[in-house]
Structures are given as structure tokens and as C-alpha cells.
Amino acid sequence: MPKISFICPIFNKKKYLNKVLRSIKSQKGNFDKEYIFVNDGSSDGSLEYLKQSTSSWKNTIVINQTNRGPAIATQVGIKHSSGDYIKLVGGDDVMAPFCSELLLKTIKKRNSVAAFSSYKLVNTFENINYGENIISNYRIIKNPLMQTIKSSFSGTTPNLFCNKAVKKSGGCNKNIFIEDFSLALGLSRLGNFCFIDNVTSYGPKNDSQRIMIGKKVQLLHDYNAALYYFIKKNSKIEKSIIKVACNKSLGRADKWFRRELGGTKFNKMNYYKISIFFGRRDYLNLIRESCLFFYNFCNKQSIRYKIS
């Protein structure tokens, strides 16, 4: 029987934990379970609530650490995991009861290293219509590195990962604050990715504490930083792929500058894109420049774990 390790990093999520924990405990399916919670320096009573609520759970580990960010917290959980598969769970996300079972069926169809489903933001977790436990529009991508870079495959709660592949890839890059994109990049070299259209998990809408809302600049920076560290580590990647990663990074920084700060298209990122068109080839250096570009317009608190 396969075993799934549920890994849930938590930082100041006490108001959600009742529903999050019930969601994790209510996962249906013919598989063994272990639960790993990493309290990442919460100051709102999350740790105490977590310990009390899971005190009777079997196969449960609760880890407490100073605040270091979701990538490091997730990696700590991965290190302690023993399951065949890893089910990451956001500290404010609720899963459909069949989420893990459906993703397990999906990932096993073609022995994929990662299975991705859909995610929905909701105003309330009450009375969610979870739909049916039937795979919808299954599809597969072999050799998914290029598409991972182009589409920025990421996410935690709607996905399931092969633990052996995760550990072989190195897991989450601990030099980055955000966890999920660096994880997907590493996995994309080790096997195929599969996708289904089912909505399997839900998160709170309009919560300023969510990274995608309250730390948007951190998120965008970390997508670029993940590419920088990944390509630096894997120098034998085809130049055509590195070029795509470079243009993606420059474009991401350029769009942020124009949309969020009201900057003009006459900026350094666009200049670099033009220079690539005319033959410039130092792609890794330009990806690094796309990260440094954020620092010029952000205060010291906006981005954690800057590249050197």
C-alpha cells in the first residue's frame, strides 16, 4: 500500500487551522498516511493550537523553528518524510476529501514525478461543492523542463509529488523564500508531469497575508531567482532552454516595473531583451540582473534572501 506524507508549513495561520486540519485528517483513499507540521516561528498561537489538535493523531510529527520562510520550512518537512509521495498543504488551504486519492490515481497512471490539479480561491470555506472524484481531462508532458519554465508550474496543495524524485532533485531551494517553483524546476528533469482539470483544493480570497497578495514582489523575484540558481547548478542545460529562461526573467521584471510601479518600457530589462535579439548570450548573468533589478526599487523588507 502506498504511503503519503502530508507536509504542512505554518506561519501565523491559527484562524484557519481548524478547517485545514480537518481537511487533512478527512482525506479518503487506500493509502497509509503520515503527518508532518512545521511551525515556522508563528506568534499567533498556531503552535499551541496545532499541538493540542493533533495530540491524538498517529504518525504525526510537529516541528518548531524560528521563522525562515516557506522554502526552508517545507524542506525541513521533506527531510523528515518517509512516504512514497509528498502532499504539501498550505497552512490556509482546504482540500476536497478526495484530493489526495484523485492525485494518487493521476500520478500513478504513467509513473509521473508530479501531478497537478486546479485550485480555487473562495470567500468562505463553508458549503463548498467539491464536485466528483473522477479524473477530468488527464494529460501528460514528457521532458517538461521547457514548459515548466514557460508556464511557471508551481503550487503546493493542488499537487502531489514523488518523494524519491523530490529528494533526488534536492527539493526546495533554501536560498529562496518561496518554495514551489524551485521544487518544480528540479523535478522537471527527472520525469514526466501530469495534469487534471479537477479543482481539488481551496484557499481564502482577498487575504493580505497570503504570499501571492501581500508579498507579490517577493514571489516574482523568487521565480527569477529560482531560475538563476537552477541554471547555475545545471550548466549543461541546452542553450535554447536557458535563453527562454532568460527572456522569461527579463520579461517578468519588466512587467512588474511597468504595472506595479508605473515605469516606462524604456528600462534596463527591455534593453537587455533587445541585446539578446542582437546576439548577446550571457544568459545566466542577465537572469541575475533581473533579480538585482527588483532591489533597486524595493525597501530592505520587501525581499528576503537576495542573491549576491
> pLDDT tens digit string along 146-205?
999 999 999 999 999 999 999 999 999 999 999 999 999 999 999 999 999 999 999 999
pTM confidence score: 0.95
Task: Tell whether the model's pLDDT for residue 211 goes beyond 80.
Answer: no
Q: 227, 244, 238: which is closest to 290 by C-alpha?
A: 227
Torsion 296-297-301-306 (CA) sign? negative
Q: What pLDDT, on a 0 to 100 scale, did the predictor assign at position 210? A: 79
CATH code 3.40.50.2300 for 3-206: no
Asked whether 293 and 224 are in contact (CB, 8 A), the reply is no
Task: Tell whether the model's pLDDT for residue 17 goes beyond 90.
Answer: yes
Cell numbers 542582437 correspond to 278
**Domains of the chain by residue range:** 3-206, 215-295
Phi and psi torsions of 196, nearest 5°: -135, 160
State the cell numbers at 172: 526546495
